[in-house]
């Protein structure tokens, strides 16, 4: 009897192990298609610039100082990791040569996006002293924007008396944590934690939705204004901003192991998942409170960031919560893999995803592909495949 039982268990485990994971297969196919798309994009990309979007049949680019410049090389690295296509690695090295001067850029808070998503990922797959030095210089440049009076890092330069901080800035703290991890210099870590604490205290409402922009008094550190720049209204929940916060506090917990940041990430996650305006396919409207839902534009970039964040957050929580977050991430990846969001090869300017929203009220980058949508989509699939 015991032998029969053991045999049945063995058979069950064998067939269970051999059952194909359809989402894993889909993800691998997406990486192959993504490699084809980006090789198509490479041919269209003029020298010295970075891809930005594809709008009204026009391929739009930017210089290295644009906040999205790191996503193109970052995407190439993710694609290379999965496909081992050497042409993608060669293109990565080419574009990094153009990007590396931004290590000394002290006029932006987006050095995490620009340098860690690019050189940080490159250092992971091909560690070199040169890449490490570039990243450390980038961390120094980012740290120069920290103010002890406001206890946070300035996002946008403005009037002398103003100190503008946006929720997006949570995404740039990973570079600072990495710098302390590499050097043992706690200065970077302390700045990152201080910024996270200040943001947690001031940026969030009682329901754990987030304001987009806070204006601090640069001399006293007091909050003067809470508003939006890219959302529907000052009091609304701009979709990508909620995703930035979710991702950001998950990263802070990874480096600190402080439970308060994990709880913050879970609160944000539950706000998103329990929101009555979140569609069943988990790709949010560009703002959770825009009045013309369900006719409002969707934002694939907000969904992609959210999906990647959910997969990391699921690693740190109890099983019930992990299952919930992982299920949401799987739904997001499945939705973005559908023809509604995934472009056919050699279309869409070479970008993989369609239907993202940059700045709706200004009418810029509305319902178009965006580099960071692709980047976080690739990252979400990479994380899923690593489970």
pLDDT tens profile 259-302: 999 999 999 999 999 999 999 999 999 999 999 999 999 999 99
Annotated catalytic residue, options 110, 287, 299, 374: 110
Residues within the annotated binding site? 110, 168, 228, 240, 244
Residues within the annotated binding site for substrate? 110, 168, 228, 240, 244
User: pLDDT, tens digit, for every residue of 206-255?
Assistant: 999 999 999 999 999 999 999 999 999 999 999 999 999 999 999 999 99
SS3 76: helix
- Dist CA 113 CA 141 (whole Å): 13
362 pLDDT exceeds 70?
yes
At a CB cut-off of 8 Å and minimum separation 6, what does 7 contact? none
Cα 149 to chain centroid, rounded: 29
Task: Tell me what the mean pLDDT of segment 146-174 comes to.
Answer: 98
Annotated catalytic residue, options 168, 287, 289, 299: 168
Per DSSP, what are the bridge partners of residue 59?
Answer: 54
Our answer to whether residue 258 is catalytic in this structure is no
- Eight-class DSSP state of 21: -
Determine whether 291 is exposed, middle or buried from the number of CB atoms within 10 Å of its CB (0-12, 13-18, 19+). exposed
Question: Of all helices (H) and strands (E), which one includes residue 381?
Answer: helix 371-385
Least confident interval from 1-5, 117-121, 350-354: 1-5
- Dist CA 351 CA 51 (whole Å): 9
- Eight-class DSSP state of 295: S
The domain 238-387 is placed in CATH, from the list 1.50.10.10, 1.10.420.10, 3.90.580.10, 3.40.228.10, at: 1.50.10.10
- Eight-class DSSP state of 203: S
pLDDT given for residue 17 in this prediction: 43
Q: Where are the domains of the chain?
A: 145-227, 238-387
Our answer to whether residue 217 is catalytic in this structure is no
């Amino acid at each position: 009897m015991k032998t029969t039982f053991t045999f049945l268990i063995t058979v069950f485990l064998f067939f269970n192990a051999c059952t194909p994971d359809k989402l894993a297969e889909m993800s691998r196919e997406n990486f192959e298609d993504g490699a084809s798309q980006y090789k198509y994009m490479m041919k269209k990309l003029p020298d010295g610039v970075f891809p930005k979007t594809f709008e009204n049949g026009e391929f739009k680019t930017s210089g290295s100082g644009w906040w999205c410049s790191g996503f193109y090389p970052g995407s190439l690295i993710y694609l290379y990791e999965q496909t081992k296509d050497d042409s993608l690695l060669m293109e990565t090295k080419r574009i990094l040569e153009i990007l590396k001067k931004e290590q000394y850029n002290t006029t932006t808070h987006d050095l995490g996006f620009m340098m860690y998503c690019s050189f940080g990922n490159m250092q992971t797959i091909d560690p070199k002293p040169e890449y490490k030095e570039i990243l450390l210089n980038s961390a120094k440049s980012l740290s120069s924007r920290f103010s002890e009076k406001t206890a946070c890092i300035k996002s946008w330069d403005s009037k002398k008396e103003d100190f503008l901080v946006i929720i997006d800035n949570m995404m740039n703290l990973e570079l600072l944590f990495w710098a302390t991890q590499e050097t043992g210099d706690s200065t970077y870590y302390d700045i990152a934690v201080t910024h996270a604490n200040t943001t947690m205290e001031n940026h969030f409402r009682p329901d754990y939705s987030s304001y987009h922009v806070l204006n601090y008094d640069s001399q006293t550190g007091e909050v003067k204004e809470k508003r939006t720049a890219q959302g529907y209204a000052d009091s609304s929940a701009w979709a990508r901003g909620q995703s930035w916060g979710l991702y950001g506090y998950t990263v802070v917990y990874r480096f600190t192991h402080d439970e308060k940041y994990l709880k913050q990430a879970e609160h944000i996650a539950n706000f998103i998942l329990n929101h009555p305006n979140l569609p069943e396919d988990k790709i949010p409207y560009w703002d959770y409170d825009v009045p013309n839902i369900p006719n409002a534009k969707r934002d694939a970039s907000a969904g992609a960031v959210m999906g990647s964040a959910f997969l990391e957050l699921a690693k740190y929580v109890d099983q019930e919560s992990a299952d919930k977050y992982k299920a949401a991430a799987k739904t997001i990846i499945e939705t973005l893999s559908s023809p509604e969001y995934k472009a056919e090869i050699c279309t869409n300017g070479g970008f993989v995803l369609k239907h993202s929203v940059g700045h709706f009220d200004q009418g810029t980058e509305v319902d178009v592909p965006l580099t960071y949508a692709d980047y976080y989509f690739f990252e979400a699939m990479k994380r899923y495949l690593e489970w």
